Amino acid sequence: MNKPKFKIIFDIFGVLISSGFKSSANDLSQVLDIPIPTIQKFYEKWEPDFDRGIITSKEFWKYIIRDLNIYFDEWYLLNNMVLDNYKLNHSSYELYKRYSKITEVYLLSNTRKEWFEILDKKFSITPHCEKAFLSYEIGLIK
């Protein structure tokens, strides 16, 4: 069966799966004992460089910790906390899978290489698309 000529583009974060910061904000605030808006300010400050592949996850957290002016040597705990809090958006994901069977489906998303590889394996995202355009691969964010 030939697929129709139209194409559909899906975002990943906030569409197919949850937004990492929103999903983990309460946990981060509790562990760091810092209000969510304060953490969010620095999280969002370093996100573009992380999404473009300029910095690693270790650097991302080290910069946030430095900007928060705290001592927290276990950056990887924060990293894992965010990764563990991502959730599949079942309705969007089912729609994505259904459309992938009848037409060309593409992904366009801001994402970090280290995190995306883990989340793709966990949620099986890329097997259903023709091509994924990921910010860390192209060095640009949308």
- Which pLDDT score, from 0 to 100, does residue 4 have? 66
Q: Structure tokens of 11?
A: 């975002």
pLDDT at 91 over 90: yes
- Residue 2 has what DSSP assignment? P
pLDDT at 79 over 90: yes
Residues 6+ apart with CB under 8 A from 99: 8, 105
CA separation for the pair 27, 21 (Å, rounded): 10
Q: Structure tokens of 69?
A: 């002016």
pLDDT band for position 142 (cuts 50, 70, 90): confident
- 119: amino acid identity, one letter: L
How confident is the model over 18-65, as pLDDT tens digits? 988 999 999 999 999 999 999 999 999 999 999 999 999 999 999 999
pLDDT band for position 5 (cuts 50, 70, 90): confident
* Averaged pLDDT, 117-134: 95
- Which pLDDT score, from 0 to 100, does residue 6 have? 85
- Taking phi first (over 0 means left), then psi (-120 to 50 degrees means alpha), and beta for anything else, what does residue 11 get? beta
